[in-house]
Structure formats: C-alpha cells, structure tokens
Structure 1
Amino acid sequence: MLSSRARYAMRALLDLSLRDDAKITLIQDIADRQNIPLKFLQQILSSLKVAGFVQSRKGPGGGYVLAKAPEEITLGAVIRAMDGSIAPISCVSVTNFSECGCPHPPTCVLRVTFKEVRDAMALVLDNTSFADLRDMQRKADGVPSILDYVI
C-alpha cells in the first residue's frame, strides 16, 4: 500500500502538471486544491525538490513549478522517490532486496507470484507519465486537449 506521502506527492505533481508549463504555483493553492495539509505538503515538496521533480522560487511571486516536463516524470519514479521500492514483499524488490525468511527461496511460489505482481505494477507505473495523467484528468473534467480561440 502506498504511503500518504507518496499519494500526496502524486497529487501535488498532477496539480502542477495541470498548470501552464512554467507558471509558478503557490504552495497554499496546491494544498487547498488537493486537500493536503500545508505543513505536510511543505515536507513533501522539499523531498520532490531534492529528487529533481520540482523547483522552487522564494519571495514575492514565488512558489513551485515542475523541474522537468510532465512527459519525463513517471508514477514509478515518484513512488520510488517517496516510498522506496514498489515491490509488495522485500524478496522480490529490485531496489531494496532482502530475504523474507522463506525456508526454500529457490522454489517459493509466493516469491514467484509476488515477482509477477511487482513486474506488472512496474510496467504500468513506469509507463505512465504525468503528461498521461494530465491528459486523462482534463478529459475526465471535460476540458478539450486543444483550445481553439476564434475572434
């Protein structure tokens, strides 16, 4: 199960992805729109900044903006940055492998099954960008992907 930290991080990044490409967004606005406690969001955005997903600007007109294009940020990368591994059990983790205490690891069918789960999750999460999510959200909200203004 994902931590609150990872869930809020994904919501904050989606919020920034829905804004104009280089538009600075106030942290309070993200917190209000996404119903995230402000103090917790400050910690999360600090972690996202260290991980290279967002940039911040201080002072008047300051706030947060994506550090990369939404096409370059995947759900898998964000989850790993916030929670570590995406594996459901430690013995199938690629990034944080540790034995689980199984008496027969080479023939453990639980390990084989949970490796399949991990691989399926990684396939979806690593191939879903925040541009994909932005576009899906706009479609769900009824916002056309191309705005055509006629005067």
Structure 2
Amino acid sequence: MHLTKKGEYALRTLIRLGIAQRQGKDVVSVSNLAEGENLPFKFIENILQELRLAGYVESKRGKEGGCRLAKPQVEITIGEVVRLIDGRLAPIGCASETDYERCTCPDEHHCGLRMLMIDVRNAIAQILDRYTLADVVSVTLRKMERDGVQLPFEAESEKPAKSKTTQRVTKPSRVRHADPLDGFLTLLTKPQNPL
C-alpha cells in the first residue's frame, strides 16, 4: 500500500476538522485548513469536494462559511477514507479484496509472494479499519497537550494567561526519522498523564 499525497492530505484535513470540532469550532474555512496544514489551497478544495460527495464533510456558505464534518467522528474509519481516495490497501493487485487485478504468476493460488502480500494487506486493513477519526483526533490532541504545543483552534479566551512563571511552549519541530516509539498504537496505549 502506498498512501498518495491526495490520501495523506485528505486524512490530515479530516483530522484537522475533527480537532476543530472537538474544540467547539463549528466550521473551518478552506484557507484555514490549507494554511494550518501547510497544504496547497486548490488541492484541498478538490479533496474537500470529493469528501463532500462521499458524505464525510459538508459546506456552509456565507461570510462565516467553511466546512465541517458531516458524520460523527466515531463513524469514520481511517481505512474507508484511504480506500475512497487511494483505492486498494494491498501492495499488489492480486492480493486485493476490493480492487483485484490478475497477476502474471503462472499459479496464483500457490504463489508465495501473493500469500505474503495478502497477510500484509490483512495487517494494514486490520489497523486502518479498527481506528476511527475520533481515535486519531484524541491521540493527536493528547500528544499536543503533552508536548506543550498550542492547539490549533484554541479560542483567545481559552489561551493560558501569561504568568510570572515561564511555561515553555514548544513549537513542533521537523522530524528527521520515524521513531517506532512515536507511533499511533504506542501513543494510544500509553496511559494519560493527569495535568
């Protein structure tokens, strides 16, 4: 499975809309989504159109318009969004349940590569279909709070007042590698630290 830029941007957009919803923000403008995730505006518009047609987001017109989630976050699995945008989860066509393609192997039923790739597909599907947008939003917010990163839709009145004690707020830094201990499942299973 290869997540395309379009698939990545769609998921990042949905996560941002989920964060906005969790923070009580009714709608988010397309420009705010694009700017907040550092994504191309036109690309986000096209992705939002596709997500709207599939029933994941809805638009609100007018001066205070924008978009919002059209379904509850717990009803949106990551796997269904990936399949919508990028198609099959299987690394090769002959291992796909939803987008099967005959391969050139002379004996597909006894092909070791196909059997291995079916297991890879199953493992990917098991993770992506198990977790919902609500799960990802929860873990994302928890990590941001843990790391002292300012939440994206924090209202002015909710921002912590400056006090005499200096509370260090860290800016997100550029990640140079993918630390296995920074994965979603690791963060999901770690107990929450009370503030």
Give me the TM-score of the superposition, normalised by structure 2. Answer: 0.71
2:21 alignment partner, SS class: coil
Please point out which of 68, 72, 94 is paired with 1:69: 72
Which residue is equivalent to 1:119?
A: 122
CA shift for structure 1 position 58: 1.7
Q: Does 1:38 align with 2:38?
A: no
Which residue is equivalent to 1:14?
A: 15
List gaps (5 residues or longer) in structure 2: 147-157, 159-195
Query: Whole-Å Cα distance in 1 between the matches of residues 103 and 36 of structure 2?
Result: 41
CA shift for structure 1 position 20: 2.6
Query: Whole-Å Cα distance in 2 between the matches of residues 35 and 100 of structure 1?
Result: 39
Query: Whole-Å Cα distance in 2 between the matches of residues 139 and 98 of structure 1?
Result: 41
Query: Whole-Å Cα distance in 1 between the matches of residues 133 and 123 of structure 2?
Result: 19
Query: Whole-Å Cα distance in 2 between the matches of residues 94 and 107 of structure 1?
Result: 17
Which residue is equivalent to 2:132?
A: 129
Query: Whole-Å Cα distance in 1 between the matches of residues 73 and 132 of structure 2?
Result: 6
Which residue is equivalent to 1:50?
A: 53
Query: Whole-Å Cα distance in 2 between the matches of residues 122 and 52 of structure 1?
Result: 21
Greater Cα shift, 13-22 or 79-88: 13-22
1:20 alignment partner, SS class: helix
List gaps (5 residues or longer) in structure 1: 144-148
CA shift for structure 1 position 142: 1.3
CA shift for structure 1 position 100: 1.3
Percent identity of paired positions between Structure 1 and Structure 2: 36
What does residue range 70-85 of structure 1 map to in structure 2 within 5 Å?
A: 70-85=73-88
Q: Does 1:92 align with 2:121?
A: no
Higher Rg of the two aligned structures:
2
Which residue is equivalent to 1:146?
A: none
What is the letter of the counterpart of residue 55 of structure 2? G
Query: Whole-Å Cα distance in 1 between the matches of residues 54 and 97 of structure 2?
Result: 19
What is the letter of the counterpart of residue 3 of structure 1? T
What is the letter of the counterpart of residue 97 of structure 1? Y
Query: Whole-Å Cα distance in 2 between the matches of residues 59 and 80 of structure 1?
Result: 32
What do you get for the CA RMSD once the two structures are aligned?
Answer: 1.4
What is the letter of the counterpart of residue 81 of structure 1? L
What is the letter of the counterpart of residue 127 of structure 2? V
Query: Whole-Å Cα distance in 2 between the matches of residues 20 and 121 of structure 1?
Result: 28
Query: Whole-Å Cα distance in 2 between the matches of residues 86 and 49 of structure 1?
Result: 22
Query: Whole-Å Cα distance in 1 between the matches of residues 85 and 65 of structure 2?
Result: 24
